[in-house]
Structure 1
Amino acid sequence: MTPNASTSSGPSRRSFLASAAVATAAVAGGMPLLAACGGADGGSREGTTSSKDAKDILPAFVAGSVVTPDIASKNGSAVGFTGKLDLAGLKTSVPKKLGKGGKVTVMAPFWGSPPKGDNAYYTAMNDLIGVDVAWQNQDGNTYDQKLGAVLASSDVPDVVVIPGWNMGGKIPSAITSKFADLGPYLSGDKVKEYPNLAAIPTDAWQRSIFGGRLRGLPMPASYVTNIVPYYRKDVFDEEGYDIPASTDEFMALAKDATNAKAKRWACGDMKWTAFNAFGVPSGQEKPLGWIEEGGELVYRAELEQYLEALEWTRKLFAAGVVHPDFKLGKSQATDPGTKFAAGEFLIYNNDISSWYGLTAAQATQNPDFEIWGMDIFGHDGGDPTLYATQPANIFAFVSKKASEAVVRDTLAVANVTAAPYGTKEFMLTNYGVEGTHYSVEDGVPVKNDTGNNHVVNAYVMVASPAPTIAHPDFANIAEGQVEWQQRMGAFTRKTPFYGMQITEPSRLTSLSNDFEQLEDDIVRGHKKIGDMQQAVSDWKSKGGDKLRDWYRKILDENGPAAG
């Protein structure tokens, strides 16, 4: 399992989150839509909260001491656990119930068929917490529509979960007007009443400031890029292929490995890896696309390396080394992992969770299959320049109309769901009741049908522990994932607006919306690099330069969130 592995933007992002949530694994992801906040309480919805003000708002950080991970966090990585699960050795992180027996209604996205409210999992969790949580599950695929309707009404549930990719339109304004300030309960040393919340990294809390107030309960994520260039290690070993260390070496390998007549191609669409190899700022969220060069703010699409990354990816397509499905765009509608596992192509980029997911899926039917992650290389063979993604992108909010008793009960829920791996609370939150929802076989927890139906995308969405990777059945994968994050984290920079919740002016926020489609058209040979240069010129004249000035003012007034 992979609790809270980084799952930010990347291929099949929305479909990935749905499948991961159903599996109760790695649901702390992000999407390339605007997250939001800003201004004083009830005031302007544009802008952000200054780092000076944030210091007075943020909870104190107190590292957890109940469980010690096998691999500590380093360079922004998750923590890792590589041992078998010992149920008899599970720790207790919540020694007494903090809930006072009240009822809390929670609206959250759900992928699949929600279980009945009186199921054994919900009953056991509520008994442990001391709170009667009543779930109002909504279809995750149409959640934004439901959100808009609910937040526009006067009947808002006690708690509402809002993923970052659902924060478009009027949702940011609704967050500041409809949801409570949790600062009086959590700011500074107040959080120590909830030790598992105190152990959540400060960066994740920084992202939970909306409208100048601490409103969100976060689901933390590693800020290291979540897009891994995967390769078929078993095939590489058999064929004697070397791992490429530059874009030229990659191209040479790709041409050597491709044999279209034998229905084997070298790779999939490598655009995301190209952006990383050429040092292009993150496209996960618009504020992350800005960097400072020579004292000036520059947007990612204005950079020469952005065009170079597109041109290199285009050359891969033109050389015929990319699997035809990607040329036709089919990879956007289907999971490319199936054909990767079948050996139709040997390299592709996908979310870090796929490392374990494909390994587990192929373990019995394809025992020779071995997937591994390449280190991201600098295009010229040197060290890469990578940029941080956001440290949290899913949040739970408490209604402004909620009584103090409801707020306290909600925090009691969050203190249990944020319990670390290796605790009784974590096991119940993520696996349910032993014997009812899962069994442990050779130190590996295995859910049964009841567990797969009941223990999915619920309590984990209220709050989660620091990013964690643990696979008792494939400890080498957990180790590989964490160490990959650590190595890549060493080359990762935080851009000026990292960790901030920023709402762009509505009149300017859609300016770059068409860039991604144009990127795809260019790498597939349907458009030219000159078309992107013209699009950027149009972007600047239609408001891009004004947006630059707007961001400069934010930076001058507030300073960067990351020290």
Structure 2
Amino acid sequence: MTPNAASASSGPSRRSFLASTAVVTAAVAGGMPLLAACGGSDSGSRGGTTSGKDAKKLLPAYVASNVVTPDIPAKNGSAMGFTRELAIADLKTSVPKKLGRGGKVTIMSPFWGSPPKGDNPYYTAMNSLIGVDVVWQNQDGNTYDQKLGAVLASSDIPDVVVVPSWNMGGKIPSAITGKFADLGPYLSGDKAKEYPNLAAIPTDAWQRSIFGGQLRGLPQPGPYVTGIVPLYRKDLFDKAGYTIPKSADEFTALCKEITSPKAKRWACGDMKWTAFNIFGVMSGSEKPLGWNLVDGKMIYRIETPEYLEALEWTRKLFAAGYVHPDFKLGKSQATDPSPKFAAGEFLIWNNNIVNWYGQQAAQATQNPSFKIWGMDLFGHDGGNPTLWAEQPAGIFAFVSKKASESVIRDVLAVANVTAAPYGTKEWMLTNYGVEGTHYAMKNGVPVKNDKGNNEVVNAYVMVASPAATIAHPDFPDITKASVEWQQRMGAFTKKSSFWGLTISEPSRFTNLSNDMEQMEDDVVRGHKSISDMQQWISDWKSKGGDKLRDWYKKLLDENGSAAS
């Protein structure tokens, strides 16, 4: 049950985002920094902004699943949690009869690794359960945006195309509204009750699936609480008697206490994304989330004093030598920091919540004393933090406009199985394959064998997913701690003006912020100054930022907000 570890040094990777959203047992974690979902043509500039009463007409009726009861219910935008061990005999049935009509459905989706053969036992078993002949057109996830653009520009589109939010750049948003079907006639209102697992997907995720004024996407829901956790080596903290910091100054003092280059020990990795959280900077995971109406004026995240304060604080950590040297090269560096974190070379790692479990599970055998935990986020001044909500869904499956009603019904049959909740037979088959062929049960935990690791990956989980869930029966303490961390942080989480909406900026603004992330990294690493960043922000305003502000203000005036 060990997910792929993040490989990026300064923030989570796209692959860890996939693990966190598509693999329930790896923890479903919402929005990810470093993944920019933006852009679009002017013709698609209003796409996905439907909110209020108009949206309610489009959204599926929500009917919570009662098939399996979580050990820890969702709260404050968190995932739900399951700590209990699984037993094959106790798995529930959430799809009592096949809804598939026996047709053939082609699905194009990103895939990381080598795709299995199409007639493998996993695909065969899933298709038999669903009653649909799904044919996968797996594409390299690392270059998926290129393939996506080419396919959507052609007239030959597969029945289903999976589009992650980070691939919604350029002309993709307008292609979504032009090439994909309205699912409203099949799912809006009480129609969704024909597909109970889809009806149990939270309404916020469906709201996010409105593109061009129509319900077009089948979503992978996630918690809206930030997925970025300051993970730390609890075993080494306890041994040394370190105190968990509750302010920016206390964090800096702790870093000074920990760091000893002669002993080959540094305090932390790149803490930029945690800095944004503790200083109350609006989300940078997606451009629309960075805009918020304040006292009648539309403000972008980089215009706030908190933004510069967060960069300056992070810069001081680097300048003082508290950051492990491997992180000084930024996200371009190729070395996986995991071994050095496990070796105790640095003790605090700004990472995605998926790796709370992932790092612990990876060290369970060879390093039994290893204990990883998550720090609560704090306000920089020692008060409560001001956190900003991430999007409630980040990957979508779309059905071609050319698809017949029979094909659309078959696609929904697929999604109704893949959205089955944890603890069901359908969930187990979707996520682990066939018992004995792909996995074996060990102490109540399904463990994949080599065949399972090769075949049961990156496929059916991409069509639709159940409500956000964290389930690690092999580490129930981490399950409980992860969910409760989200719940505590959720209590301090606010929603900015465009939360929950899918928005495509006009194409003339597409490249406006291209260099922003590089500028941030240059500033925190001391290659550029805060004044250089201030000049960059001034240039951003004059080159289009102020006009983009007017565009967002008009959009909000005309459509209203989905945040409540």
TM-score range, shorter chain: over 0.9
8 Å Cα contact 1:390-1:499 kept in structure 2: yes
- Residue 134 (structure 1) aligns with: 135
Deviation at 1:328, TM superposition (A): 2.8
Measured at CA, do residues 538 and 38 of structure 1 come closer, stay the same or move farther in structure 2, by a change above 3 Å? Answer: closer
Deviation at 1:515, TM superposition (A): 1.3
Q: Distance in 1 between matches of 2:457 and 2:390?
A: 26
Structure 1 letter corresponding to 2:472: H
8 Å Cα contact 1:108-1:461 kept in structure 2: yes
Q: Distance in 1 between matches of 2:434 and 2:61?
A: 33
- Residue 419 (structure 2) aligns with: 418
Structure 1 counterpart SS, 2:508: coil
Structure 1 counterpart SS, 2:507: coil
8 Å Cα contact 2:40-2:506 kept in structure 1: no
Structure 1 counterpart SS, 2:137: strand
Question: Is residue 2:270 matched to residue 1:276?
Answer: no
Q: Kindly provide the CA deviation profile for residues 134-175 of structure 1, in whole angstroms up to 9, marking residues without a partner as x.
A: 111111111111111111111111111111111111111111
Q: Distance in 1 between matches of 2:21 and 2:375?
A: 26
Question: Is residue 2:209 matched to residue 1:215?
Answer: no
Q: Distance in 1 between matches of 2:41 and 2:385?
A: 33
Question: Is residue 2:36 matched to residue 1:33?
Answer: yes
In terms of mean alpha carbon deviation, does 25-34 or 404-413 score higher? 25-34
- Residue 310 (structure 2) aligns with: 309
- Residue 382 (structure 2) aligns with: 381
Q: Distance in 1 between matches of 2:246 and 2:355?
A: 22
Q: Distance in 2 between matches of 1:20 and 1:229?
A: 16
- Residue 511 (structure 1) aligns with: 512
Aligned pairs for 1:179-328 within 5 A: 179-328=180-329
Measured at CA, do residues 2 and 260 of structure 1 come closer, stay the same or move farther in structure 2, by a change above 3 Å? Answer: closer
Q: Kindly provide the CA deviation profile for residues 297-349 of structure 1, in whole angstroms up to 9, marking residues without a partner as x.
A: 11111000111111111111111111111123377423222211110001110
- Residue 68 (structure 2) aligns with: 67
Deviation at 1:207, TM superposition (A): 0.9
- Residue 50 (structure 1) aligns with: 50
Measured at CA, do residues 185 and 82 of structure 1 come closer, stay the same or move farther in structure 2, by a change above 3 Å? Answer: same
Q: Distance in 1 between matches of 2:295 and 2:77?
A: 27
Q: Kindly provide the CA deviation profile for residues 466-512 of structure 1, in whole angstroms up to 9, marking residues without a partner as x.
A: 00000111111111110100000000000000010101111123212
* Paired-residue identity, %: 75
Measured at CA, do residues 65 and 516 of structure 1 come closer, stay the same or move farther in structure 2, by a change above 3 Å? Answer: same
Measured at CA, do residues 215 and 421 of structure 1 come closer, stay the same or move farther in structure 2, by a change above 3 Å? Answer: same
Measured at CA, do residues 541 and 528 of structure 1 come closer, stay the same or move farther in structure 2, by a change above 3 Å? Answer: same
Deviation at 1:294, TM superposition (A): 1.9
5+ residue gaps, structure 2: none
8 Å Cα contact 1:121-1:455 kept in structure 2: yes
Q: Distance in 2 between matches of 1:486 and 1:27?
A: 14
8 Å Cα contact 2:419-2:464 kept in structure 1: yes
Backbone CA RMSD of aligned residues? 2.1
Measured at CA, do residues 482 and 283 of structure 1 come closer, stay the same or move farther in structure 2, by a change above 3 Å? Answer: same
- Residue 166 (structure 1) aligns with: 167
- Residue 177 (structure 1) aligns with: 178
Deviation at 1:23, TM superposition (A): 7.4
8 Å Cα contact 1:196-1:465 kept in structure 2: yes
Structure 1 counterpart SS, 2:373: strand
Measured at CA, do residues 427 and 48 of structure 1 come closer, stay the same or move farther in structure 2, by a change above 3 Å? Answer: closer
8 Å Cα contact 1:47-1:504 kept in structure 2: no
- Residue 535 (structure 1) aligns with: 536
Measured at CA, do residues 177 and 297 of structure 1 come closer, stay the same or move farther in structure 2, by a change above 3 Å? Answer: same
8 Å Cα contact 1:219-1:392 kept in structure 2: yes
- Residue 147 (structure 2) aligns with: 146
Q: Distance in 2 between matches of 1:351 and 1:293?
A: 29
Q: Distance in 2 between matches of 1:465 and 1:187?
A: 18
Measured at CA, do residues 354 and 516 of structure 1 come closer, stay the same or move farther in structure 2, by a change above 3 Å? Answer: same
Measured at CA, do residues 36 and 193 of structure 1 come closer, stay the same or move farther in structure 2, by a change above 3 Å? Answer: farther
8 Å Cα contact 1:21-1:111 kept in structure 2: no
Structure 2 letter corresponding to 1:16: S
Q: Distance in 1 between matches of 2:67 and 2:40?
A: 34
Structure 2 letter corresponding to 1:87: I
Measured at CA, do residues 46 and 393 of structure 1 come closer, stay the same or move farther in structure 2, by a change above 3 Å? Answer: same
Deviation at 1:295, TM superposition (A): 1.9
Deviation at 1:28, TM superposition (A): 6.7
How many residue pairs were aligned?
Answer: 558
5+ residue gaps, structure 1: none
In terms of mean alpha carbon deviation, does 49-58 or 21-30 score higher? 21-30
Structure 2 letter corresponding to 1:34: A
Q: Kindly provide the CA deviation profile for residues 246-281 of structure 1, in whole angstroms up to 9, marking residues without a partner as x.
A: 000011110011100010001111110000000000
8 Å Cα contact 2:48-2:208 kept in structure 1: no
8 Å Cα contact 1:9-1:226 kept in structure 2: no
Deviation at 1:49, TM superposition (A): 2.6
- Residue 11 (structure 1) aligns with: 11
TM-score (norm 1): 0.96
Question: Is residue 2:369 matched to residue 1:368?
Answer: yes
- Residue 344 (structure 2) aligns with: 343
Structure 2 letter corresponding to 1:182: L
TM-score (norm 2): 0.95
Structure 2 letter corresponding to 1:161: V
In terms of mean alpha carbon deviation, does 50-59 or 184-193 score higher? 50-59
Q: Distance in 2 between matches of 1:203 and 1:530?
A: 40
8 Å Cα contact 2:28-2:468 kept in structure 1: no
Question: Is residue 2:426 matched to residue 1:428?
Answer: no
Q: Kindly provide the CA deviation profile for residues 423-445 of structure 1, in whole angstroms up to 9, marking residues without a partner as x.
A: 00000000011111111011111
